[in-house]
Structure 1
Amino acid sequence: MSRHVAIITDSTAYLPQQEMERHSITAVPLTVVLGDEAFEEGTEVSARSVAQALQKRKPVTTSRPGPDVFAAAYREAAAAGAEGIVSLHLSAELSGTYDAAVLAAREAPVPVRVVDTGMVAMALGFCALAAAETARAGGTLDEAVAAAEKRAHGTAAYFYVDSLDYLRRGGRIGAAQALLGSALAVKPLLQLDGGRIEPREKVRTASKAIARLEEIVVERASVAPVDIAVHHLAAAERAAQLAERLRERVPGLVDLHVSEVGAVIGAHTGPGLLGVVVSAR
């Protein structure tokens, strides 16, 4: 009989609450700072309040959880009966969250495998679900890690932003910096590549960019079966319309999630974000 394996992720996974409860997944919160006030993502600050602050050009920053926060989560999981923990986090290229988890894992009362998924948002969430499903089926610590890593390998994330300015301010723009010179003339499509935000294509208008985003996703989703997540920030109508078109055009679709991103990702992408995660099962 397999030992009980607990799954811990962070608040940028943006998993639906019912999925977290069903799979007993714990999310450690990152912090959002509005002006001089700090708030925990997921419980103390909304993405909408971040969007409003950005639109008013108020200072918005984010920070990782401290190792002590992870240490407390690991102790709690062990006290609840876990004999091993898989700790899955957003790309180390985008945040120091993974490093904080690694530090805490050294002092944990049970073995902890910390994984840099190279992902974020539901790209990370799908990895956590894969690990949780394996653990619930009696899988070992290594098997749960392998399931998450396999899911990450088969997952892609693409997104459209109205402006690169927010990514530039947050220092998360990577090679997409090269697009800034023509940022007023183009609407950029970006992707996660190697855990970094990289340029995918430049399109002249918002409508053409969103149409192109749809085509990229449909092409990627040709390897069935797949799960898809559509994320947005202050663009609910756009997201709903895109999700409906993808539902009609992707024959191998299993699950489709539509949600607004949380405050941390919203702080770096700004209002108007439209992102799609495609994850092969």
Structure 2
Amino acid sequence: MTKPSVAIVTDSIADIPSEQVKTLKISVVPAILIIEGQSYIDGEEISREEFYHRMPTMSEPATTAIPSSIAFEKEYRRLLDSGYERVLSIHVASQLSGMINAASQAAQAFNERVRIFDSKSLTMGLGFQVMEAAEASLRGQSFDAVLDVARSARDRVRLVALIDSLEYLKRSGRISWLRASLGDLLQMKLLVNVIDGVVGRLGIARTHRKGIIQLLSHVKSWGSLERIAVLHSAIPDEASAFADKVRYLCANPPLIVDVTTLIGTHVGPKAIGLAGLCR
């Protein structure tokens, strides 16, 4: 079998399950989680279970940091030295993170051989774009064809979530519109979506159960799906039950993904969401 000419790189915010990372030969540059002054490599030095166990008793909110441009440069060089002709590096939305900036700085050392692509999404909204591009690369498609596949996937991804507690978003200060309406929402469950890299308010619910009903209603409006993933922060049983409710929307079985601690830092425990790739 001829080796693909295009290497696919992403960051750990993509939340792609390890089995798919291995099978699709995806390179993942991990972000950094900082807990009470101690730095941890995302997905390697602290488990998600330990993170959520510690979260309520942390003396200060956990924070996140992007990898250095040197980390990206090392990965690009490793891939190109191993025989790949080009690298397509697909990352979390530039409006939500500085990941694109670090990757772009690293790419300058390789002229046109490394291309940075803004997914305008996160978690499996990003992950599905990466998986589609990786599958195209493994089929032996050209760089331009793989890039077109990523663009098509970006146009077709959908992402919604139900956030059980706004306390963690309040601490992060990442969502500007939330600050203006926080007093009205603190006791509510918040439904959000991500469109073109922007987190938007989709609705509110007084209870978690009513929020789930709203979430299902929004997902049904997506129509037929090629891929679907149930996303959650430390509620695997509920995520599994939710996957059964949306299974009919997609010929492929839903992925169930415990979101990275970097997202959990902002949404807290008990968040649940859905990512879909429309046909």
Scaled to the shorter chain, the TM-score interval is: over 0.9
Runs of 4+ in 1 over 3 A off after TM superposition: 176-179
Structure 1, unpaired ranges of 5+: none
Q: Do residues 174 (structure 1) and 172 (structure 2) align? A: no
C-alpha deviation, 1:70, in angstroms: 0.1
Distance 1:200 1:230, change over 3 A: same
Q: Distance in 1 between matches of 2:80 and 2:74?
A: 10
Cα offsets for 1:20-50 (capped at 9, x unmatched)? 1111100000000011110110111222222
TM-score by length of 2: 0.94
1:256 to 235, 254, 257: 254
Q: Which amino acid aligns with 2:126?
A: L
**2:167 match:** 165
Residues 30 and 41 in structure 1, CA contact (< 8 A), matched pair in contact too: yes
Q: Do residues 235 (structure 1) and 235 (structure 2) align? A: yes
Cα offsets for 1:127-147 (capped at 9, x unmatched)? 001111111112122221111
Which range is displaced more, 256-265 or 68-77?
Answer: 256-265
Which range is displaced more, 122-131 or 139-148?
Answer: 139-148
Counting aligned pairs with the same residue, the percent is 30
Q: Do residues 278 (structure 1) and 276 (structure 2) align? A: yes
Q: Which amino acid aligns with 1:242?
A: F
Partner of 2:53, secondary structure, is helix
Partner of 1:279, secondary structure, is strand
Partner of 1:51, secondary structure, is helix
Q: Which amino acid aligns with 1:161?
A: I
Q: Distance in 2 between matches of 1:51 and 1:198?
A: 25
Distance 1:264 1:199, change over 3 A: same
TM-score by length of 1: 0.93
Aligned-residue CA RMSD in angstroms?
1.7
C-alpha deviation, 1:109, in angstroms: 7.1
Q: Do residues 52 (structure 1) and 53 (structure 2) align? A: yes
Structure 2, unpaired ranges of 5+: none
Q: Distance in 1 between matches of 2:57 and 2:261?
A: 16
**2:204 match:** 202
Q: Do residues 28 (structure 1) and 29 (structure 2) align? A: yes
Residues 67 and 99 in structure 2, CA contact (< 8 A), matched pair in contact too: yes
Q: Distance in 2 between matches of 1:2 and 1:109?
A: 22
Distance 1:2 1:55, change over 3 A: closer
Which range is displaced more, 19-28 or 42-51?
Answer: 42-51
Cα offsets for 1:166-188 (capped at 9, x unmatched)? 12222222323344121234211
**1:13 match:** 14
Residues 161 and 189 in structure 1, CA contact (< 8 A), matched pair in contact too: yes
Cα offsets for 1:209-260 (capped at 9, x unmatched)? 011101211221x1x242111111121122111111111x42x432410021
Q: Distance in 2 between matches of 1:255 and 1:128?
A: 18
Q: Which amino acid aligns with 1:207?
A: R
Q: Which amino acid aligns with 2:275?
A: V
Q: Distance in 1 between matches of 2:104 and 2:207?
A: 43
Partner of 1:45, secondary structure, is coil
2:113 to 111, 134, 154: 111
Count of aligned positions: 277
Residues 225 and 276 in structure 2, CA contact (< 8 A), matched pair in contact too: no
**2:245 match:** 245
Q: Which amino acid aligns with 2:68?
A: G
Q: Do residues 40 (structure 1) and 41 (structure 2) align? A: yes
Which range is displaced more, 103-112 or 200-209?
Answer: 103-112
Distance 1:225 1:273, change over 3 A: closer
**2:141 match:** 139
Q: Distance in 2 between matches of 1:21 and 1:3?
A: 15
Q: Distance in 2 between matches of 1:71 and 1:146?
A: 24
Residues 48 and 233 in structure 1, CA contact (< 8 A), matched pair in contact too: no
**1:125 match:** 127
Residues 65 and 97 in structure 1, CA contact (< 8 A), matched pair in contact too: yes
Q: Which amino acid aligns with 1:23?
A: L
